[in-house]
A = this chain, B = another copy of it.
Amino acid sequence: MKSIPFGNIRPGGFWGDRLEINRRSTIPSVYDRFTDTGRFEAFRCNWKEGSELPKPHFFWDSDIAKWIEAAAYSIELHPDPELEKIIDGVVDLIEKNQQEDGYFNVYFTVVDPEHSRFKVRDWHELYCAGHLLEAAIAYYNATGKDKFLTLMRRYVDLIEKIFVKEHSASFDTPGHEEIELALIKLYDLTGEKKYLDMCSYFIETRGTSEKDKNIPSWAKPEYYQSDVPVREFTAAEGHAVRALYLYSGMADLADRTGDKSLLDACERMFDDIVKKQMYITGGVGAASSGERFTESYVLPNDLAYAETCASIALALFARRMSSINPDSKYADAAETAMYNGALAGVSLDGSSFFYINPLEINLRKREIFEKYYTFDKTYKPITQRVAVFDCSCCPPNVARFVASIGEFLYSYDDETLYIHHYMQSDTEFEGIKITQQTEYPNEGEVRITVSGLKGKKLAVRIPGWCGYVSLAGEKLSAPVKKGYAFVDVTEDEGTFDFWFEMKPRFVSCNPAVSFNHDKVCLCRGPLVYCAESVLNDGRQPDNILLDVSGRVGLEFSEETGAYTALADAFEELPREELYFDVKDIKREKIRLRMLPYFAYANHGESDMAVWMRKGEGNA
């Protein structure tokens, strides 16, 4: 199956607004901050020891590359000559500073030439190359300009020579995966099998190489997904973004080659993640130490790492799996990440960002721990978004993710059009037209109008959170397979009115996640809700119990583009005694204002909680 490219899809509604903010605010804002911090200037390659210029970091190339990729995606839907001019300027600098043999990397050219040409596995050379290649492909697709692409193909040829032909690098596979995805895109674009073979080489060599064991002392092979050959993976391990980029590359490769055992490994990883290692927000990689997967059920809320890039990577992986072997579990996970863990990475105004996405902020608890229980600086997530980070991978990653969100919607083969996600949008692609009219994610009604599909089937995903589906006002009776309802398209133009019942839900967590004991999470449709003290007259979320048998009112918010929930809840009352009989608990009914998780931390520093204490009836 193939996906309908996002360039053929015009999102409106909720995502239409997010794309506008992305175009008008996020892309310019990231550009400005990358300019301020010297990342663009670095491409002039005129930094020297003692120079007043900021010293380039070894992953800065990837920051600029992701920004170019985002800008190119934006240009594809919304031409912008000014943006093109900026990109053309960067491409000129790349051309100027690319070395004789095709090598291009700012850091290893001007800061540390001694280690250039792939001497240190952990220093992101191939990762930067991969992102530059993805950017070049995106820019070619958006504008038809092939200069950047041509430069990058020369670099890829050098990489092929060094890694695949000569084996002359100090390592065999990337310390940070990414180039695998880029190579598949290049293969898809050019049809040249050597790129597929390169991807295959990097994936199949992983876990088998002696050279790759030369890693820093603090790390372990599994941190780099290099402990065993990829087919032998049993659980998601190591650095979360690296792992998920690898799994995505494995899925791409399995798709292009039809390799069943590789696909099985992908499904195993996916199942392990969503059944044991994923926050309810779609956050993954719970460990701050190493930004990595932990182990089953280790999902603390206040200490959550859950990097924005990792949620995006999970969505990218799930999107691939949806297209290869449609099962609604994949799009469910992608949807969760898309609306929660990934989208929380950017502020409502599009100009500031989270790298880390905790599910709880308890300022008092932090203060107590720091004041009374440690002399050390202990990990704690920041509480407000910022414009740029030293390691600023997430901001341009969010930008390219939002700009290309349409790509998640559809897959197709000769017989079936799969509709994975719901989004107000108009699509035209190879004689097909698809319109979705919907207020999703706020309402479950979706009117799907298709033309050019007569005699084929629509496979419509039934979201995992949905208990009741109707089609044209009747309970859905079409056959359902792996979470997709299969509906025949009998007319040249057809309209299908789906309704996915969307009720507020109180969700419990597996008791093996001790952090969520006796707690519930309010969800509605794909949105996870949270409570902030700043929106509730300073009330501490941990002093409040959600009434799981109470009402949840909804109030549309222009600011978030989604419903604010007003939930029945109980607040603990202050009392004199330190200890008292359990029968004498005293609580007061209140209505608690809750926002979608993606919108938290937009109203000043605040305590926040996704998982709330469970109350019922009178308490």
The answer to whether A376 touches B376, judged by C-beta atoms less than 8 angstroms apart, is: yes
Within 8 A of B (CB), among A338-381: 362, 364-365, 368-369, 371-379
Output the nearest chain B residue to A585 by Cβ-Cβ distance.
B508
Asked if B576 and A505 make an inter-chain contact with CB atoms under 8 angstroms apart, the answer reads: no
Task: State A433–B510 Cα separation when bound (angstroms).
Answer: 62
Contacts of A575 in B (CB 8 A): 510-511
In Å, the complex CA distance between A573 and B543 comes to: 27
Q: Which of B280, B372, B542, B581 contacts A517 (CB 8 A)?
A: B542
CB of A68 within 8 Å of the partner chain: no
Chain B residue with Cβ nearest A276: B578
Separation of A365 and B303 alpha carbons in the complex (Å):
12
Question: What is the bound-complex CA distance between A368 and B286, given in angstroms?
Answer: 11
Most chain B CB within a 10 A radius of its CB, from A509, A514, A585, A614: A514
Q: Which of B506, B514, B518, B581 contacts A506 (CB 8 A)?
A: B581
Name A264-317 residues within 8 Å CB distance of B: 274-276, 278, 280, 286-290, 294, 298, 300, 303
| Residue of B275, B573, B582 touching A508 (CB-CB under 8 A) | B582
In contact, A582 and B518 (Cβ under 8 angstroms): no
Residues from chain B with Cβ under 8 Å of A511 in the complex? 543, 572-575
Interface hub of A287, A543, A576, A582 (most chain B Cβ within 10 A): A582
- Chain B residues, Cβ within 8 Å of A576: 275
Cα(A229)–Cα(B577), bound, Å? 28
Cβ B379 vs Cβ A377 within 8 A: no
A540 to B511, CA, bound (A): 11
Expressed in whole angstroms, the minimum distance between the Cβ of A467 and any Cβ of chain B is 9
A183 is an interface residue with CB less than 8 A from chain B: no
Tell me which of B362, B574, B580 contacts A512 (CB under 8 A).
Answer: B574
Judging by beta carbons under 8 Å apart, are A582 and B542 in contact? Answer: no
In whole angstroms, what is the CA distance A614 to B583 when docked? 12
CA distance A513 to B289 in the complex (A): 29
Q: Report the interface size for chain A: residues with CB under 8 A from the other chain.
A: 61
Which B residues lie within 8 Å of A372 (CB)? 286-290, 294, 298, 303
Name the B residues within 8 Å of A364 (CB-CB).
514
Q: Does A520 contact B (CB under 8 A)?
A: yes
Q: Is the CB of A506 within 8 A of B582?
A: yes
Cα of A276 to Cα of B579 in the assembled complex, Å? 10
| Copies of this chain assembled into the complex | 2
Residues in B whose Cβ lies below 8 Å from that of A569 = none
A100 contacts across to B, CB distance below 8 A: none
Chain B residues lying within 8 Å of A274, measured Cβ to Cβ, are 578
B507 touches A579 (CB 8 A): yes
The reply to whether A509 and B579 contact each other, CB–CB distance below 8 Å, is yes
Asked if B289 and A613 make an inter-chain contact with CB atoms under 8 angstroms apart, the answer reads no
Say yes or no for A138: interface residue by CB 8 A criterion: no
Contact A579 B289, beta carbon cutoff 8 Å? no
| A565 contacts B by Cβ under 8 Å | no
Task: List CB contacts (< 8 Å) of A537-582 with chain B.
Answer: 540, 542-543, 548, 572-582
Q: Is A82 an interface residue (CB 8 A)?
A: no
For A577, the chain B residues whose CB sits under 8 A away are 275, 510
**Does A430 interact with chain B (Cβ within 8 Å)?**
no
A14 to chain B, nearest CB (A): 23
- Indicate if A112 sits at the interface (CB-CB under 8 A): no
- The answer to whether A508 touches B580, judged by C-beta atoms less than 8 angstroms apart, is yes
Mark interface residues in A573-606 (1 if CB within 8 Å of B CB, else 0).
Answer: 1111111111011000000000000000000000
> CB-CB < 8 A to A614: which residues of B?
518, 582
Complex Cα spacing A543 to B540, Å: 26
The smallest C-beta distance from A239 to any residue of chain B, in angstroms, reads: 13
The docked-state distance in angstroms from the alpha carbon of A508 to that of B578 is 9
Cβ–Cβ < 8 Å partners of A303 in chain B:
369, 372-373
**Please, which residues of chain B bring their CB within 8 A of the CB of A378?**
373-374, 376, 378
Give complex CA distance A512, B540 in Å.
Answer: 10
Chain B: CB-nearest residue to A376: B376
- Chain B residues with Cβ below 8 Å from A579 are 280, 507-510, 521
Contact with B along A516-547 (1 / 0, CB 8 A): 01101100000000000000000010110000
Q: Is B582 a contact of A507 with CB atoms below 8 Å? A: yes
Question: What is the distance, in angstroms, from A582's C-beta to the closest C-beta of chain B?
Answer: 4
Q: Which of B289, B543, B548 is A582 in contact with, Cβ under 8 Å? A: B548
- Closest-by-CB residue of B relative to A290 is B372
Q: Are B507 and A581 in touch, CB under 8 angstroms?
A: yes
15 pairs, A vs B, C-beta closer than 8 Å: A275-B578, A300-B368, A303-B369, A364-B514, A373-B379, A374-B376, A376-B376, A376-B377, A506-B582, A507-B581, A511-B572, A511-B575, A518-B518, A520-B582, A548-B582
Q: Which residues of A contact B (CB under 8 A)?
A: 274-276, 278, 280, 286-290, 294, 298, 300, 303, 362, 364-365, 368-369, 371-379, 505-514, 517-518, 520-521, 540, 542-543, 548, 572-582, 584-585, 613-614
Q: A507-B581, A508-B582 are in contact. List 5 more A-B contacts (CB 8 A).
A: A276-B578, A288-B372, A288-B373, A507-B580, A517-B613
